[in-house]
Amino acid sequence: MSTAVTRNTRGPREARAARTTRPLALRPGAWLTWAALAFFFVNLLGVIGTVVLNSLGRRWFAGWLPSGWTGHWYGDAWREFGLGTVLWTTVEVSFLVVVLALALAIPASYALARRDFPGKRLVMLLFVLPILVPPIAYGIPLATVLYRFHLAGSVTGVVLANLVPSIPFVVFTMTPFIEQIDPRIEAAARMCGAGTWTVLTRVLSPLLLPGILAAGILVLVRTFGMFELTFLTAGPTSQTLIVALFSAVNSAGIRPTQSIDAMAVLYTGAMAVLLLVALRFVNPTQLVARSPE
């Protein structure tokens, strides 16, 4: 009886002390998972850190750190590889793909979300193929067609090639957003005398704005980092940043590795900014939510 009273009268401080003195016990599977994650992030930080340090070092032949520090490799890379023109081409291609993909895919998403028609499943299958199939598998015949019509080697050819996976991506992003909107809202607007354009601009557009923003940002990130299709269809004046980086690494001639690493740091930094913007404005749970049947 006295032992039970002693346990019940023990204060919260003693209870916390007893909990903190318990040994940390994890299952072998948990230890293995944490060890694998630690190994992955250590290697990732090592690769990124090596490139950043080399882009800022004068010479690095031996030792843990470069023998001196400088920032002129970024200026050399900017002038040698014409990064001003390359960045402008990258931005131009990315935004053209975003605008055209949204303009073409939103009406298709509305039809798939609101209408039942023969062959709907076949159409959905055709839309999902460019997402599931590796880009190199259909990029080569696509580039052949674009070269035959003298479109490859220009910004127009690069944009058309990148639209092939971008339009299905927008369709599968926007369809859940449209399905969440009650069709009775549109019916009520039409009963009040609103035309099709008024329903689109005054009723649907404000409700679809989060989905449009999400799809646009995700397509922008995807196009900015798309290598295969852009590499197969780009020319000397229509290279994006990732293609220019690949050409700098593999083209003939002797170039300082520091300038190439500086170019890689610029590309990685731009991608990191785009990803941070995407995570700031895009809620991944909204991309898969659907209204109940």
Regarding predicted confidence, which is higher, 23 or 129?
129
* pLDDT tier at 44, thresholds 50, 70, 90: confident
Using the structure block, give the residue that is written with the tokens 């690494």: 249
Which pLDDT score is estimated for 292?
A: 42
Which pLDDT score is estimated for 28?
A: 72
pLDDT in tens, 182-233: 888 888 888 888 887 888 788 888 888 888 888 888 899 889 989 999 999 9
CB 144 within 8 A of CB 255: no
Q: Name the fold adopted by 76-287.
A: MetI-like fold (1.10.3720)
The per-residue pLDDT of the chain, averaged, comes to 82
Is 194 in a helix, a strand, or coil?
Answer: coil
As given in the structure block, the two tokens for residue 286 are 């909204």
Compute the average pLDDT of residues 154-168. Answer: 93
Residue 140 reports pLDDT greater than 70: yes
Kindly list the domain boundaries of the chain, sorted by start residue: 24-70, 76-287
Please name the residues in contact with 212: beta carbons below 8 A apart, sequence gap of 6 or more.
Answer: 102, 106, 174
CB 141 within 8 A of CB 210: no
* pLDDT tier at 287, thresholds 50, 70, 90: low
pLDDT in tens, 53-65: 888 888 877 778 8
Compute the average pLDDT of residues 148-170. Answer: 92
